[in-house]
Amino acid sequence: MRYCTLLLISFFCMPYISHSSPADEANKKFDGYKARFVTAMWEVYPAWASSVGYHLYDDKLVIPDAAAREKEIRFCTQHADSLSQFDLSQLNDANKTDYHLIRYQLKYTMWGIKVLRTYEWDPSGYNVSGMFAEMLANDYAPINERLKNLNKKLAFVPAYYAAAKENLKNPTNEHTDLAIQQNKGGLGVLGDDLEQALGKCTLPAAEQKEIRERAKYAVAAIEDYIKWLGKLEHKTPRSFRLGKELYAQKFELELQSGYDAASIYQKALLRKAELHDKMYESTRRLWSKYFGEAIPADKLQAIKKMIDKLSENHVSADSFQTAIEQQIPELTEFIKKKNLLYIDPSKPLVVRKEPAYMAGVAGASISSPGPYDKNGNTYYNVGSLEGWGKDKAESYLREYNKYILQILNIHEAIPGHYTQLVYANQSPSIIKAILGNNAMIEGWAVYTELMMLENGYDVDPKVRGVAASAEMWLMYYKWNLRSTCNTILDYSVHAGNMSKEEAMNLLVKEAFQQQAEAEGKWKRVTLTQVQLCCYFTGFTEICNLREEMKVKQGKAFDLKKFHEQFLSYGSAPVKYIKELMMK
């Protein structure tokens, strides 16, 4: 349950300073500016506002037409101008990074409208069901109030889809199929889900009737859109591949990395070769412990056989959840013992069974409170395998075997995403909560996997803290190969011409993935761009920053201090954190 407050003010409260320096003045001014920026942004993007818990514009739905794009451009131009009035050198570290995040957001938006123009070729960008589902399922306000807003919003739906049809010029086949599938999938929201909510409300009958009426028109508009997409002629559909130039631009604006796309791709190729070498080394060392026969001459074959063998070491379906739960305090204890990072004991992670609406996803994920819900709990949602077929469960358990399960917990919880979040909340920034850098966030989680193993974390408590076993390392390398190959795949497909067959070879043969996982990855790369690179990019930047700090500080380098300082800047791009740390 989420309680969301509409008050922005608490983020920007500043103590009264009587004799303030020019820098104090500049920061005070910038804090005021940020508040105005966010308030203005929510007016332009009401759906985004609702999704982060700012519910002032819940009754609005932006018709995605030329006028709306004009309004966005005006917003961006105006704020780019306001931003340029500030002297960056006068701002404190937190405001400096916020400044860059806002600047990138404005640039990215303008570029999206003027250059990338997804509104012309991605029909899946038009879908209203998610917002309505959220309003019905999420308890942020009394049901009557939510339904009143939903009623007003429903009135815009026919015009919304009319504008969508007007915008689309030459959509890709892949995004067209996705749009049909997702819009179909969402129809139930304004059917059964809405009926259920109406059953729980106490609105007057006439109002309920109006809602049902409007829902009928909305559903008709969605169905019409689905039919229209199905009948598109599609003689020269746009390719799902972005092309080298657009890809390089998107990479720069989205990841805000210190490296460009082509260099990260080169680094990923080198990392893949390095991982293969290391994996073969571990396999050779382990071979006689697990097999009687001679090791295969083919390197990749030998590694695969060893991975398959080690994957048999997994928990049973009914102890999957408890296995995850038990690891959390073990991880915390290890970090304390090894002095790797301060972990705030007053903010323990709440482990819970995943709520019903997430069911079926299994694995584990972090739910953190939104930027307007400061006192909400952060949960570690742990999926259960209840009701899974025997084969599906077995395959899943082998994938998340005892070794990988540890790495997953490190990544998602401690000292990965959860710990990063606790640190980020210590210097709360509404800007970073909304526009936080994904490469930094994912990069940190991926970095901690390596860091924990370097310090001797192992599944076996007998060797834990001494040195991670060859088994643990081999499985770690396999896991790390995944994000490395995600980057190679994404770049090769969008900036190059990699075929599906070549992609399958990369993922199945060279990255040891299951066929089904690889198929899913191929589908994802045809629908998204750059996103798959954020893990490896952030990871590479953090590892390199650590090496540079070691060189710079020599004997004075302290790993714990490095981690704490790195996290203290919040979810800012690594290149700006680096600038501040190397200062």
* Residues contributing to the site for Zn ion (CB under 5 A): 442, 445
**Closer residue to Zn ion, CB minimum distance, 252 or 442:** 442
Find residue 351's DSSP bridge partners. Answer: 380
**Residue 215 or 264: which CB sits closer to Zn ion?**
264
Closest approach of Cβ 268 to Zn ion, in Å? 18
**Cβ atoms of 167 and 67 closer than 8 Å:** no
Radius of gyration of the chain (CA): 25
Q: How far is the CB of 435 from Zn ion (least distance, A)?
A: 18
- Minimum CB separation of residue 445 from Zn ion in Å reads 4
Nearer to Zn ion by Cβ, of 15 and 389: the residue is 389
For residue 9, count CB atoms less than 10 angstroms from its CB and return exposed for 0-12, middle for 13-18, buried for 19 or more: exposed
Q: 197-211: buried (b, 16+ CB within 10 Å) or exposed (e) per residue? A: bbeebebeeeebeeb
Of 402 and 578, CB closest to Zn ion: 402
Residue linked to tokens 């390596």: 450
Q: Is 120 exposed, middle or buried (0-12, 13-18, 19+ CB in 10 A)?
A: middle
Q: Least distance to Zn ion from the beta carbon of 365, Å?
A: 9
> Would you say 581 and 437 are in contact if contact means Cβ atoms under 8 Å apart?
no
Which position's Cβ is nearest Zn ion? 445
**CA-to-CA dists, residue 285 to 295, 301, 479, angstroms:** 11, 15, 19
> In angstroms, what is the minimal distance from the CB of 469 to Zn ion?
20
Closest approach of Zn ion to the CB of residue 103, in Å: 26
Q: In whole angstroms, how close is the CB of 487 to Zn ion at the nearest point?
A: 15
Alpha-carbon gap, residue 517 to 301, rounded angstroms: 19
Instruction: Closer to Zn ion by CB, 221 or 445: give it.
Output: 445
Q: Choose between 306 and 445: whose C-beta lies nearer to Zn ion.
A: 445
Q: The sheet that has 379-382: what strands, in order across it?
A: 350-353, 379-382, 364-367
- Token reading at 563: 């981690």
CB nearer Zn ion, residue 129 or residue 420: 420
Instruction: Give the DSSP letter of residue 115.
Output: I
Q: What are phi and psi of 91, to 5 degrees?
A: -85, 150
H/E element, 351: strand 350-353
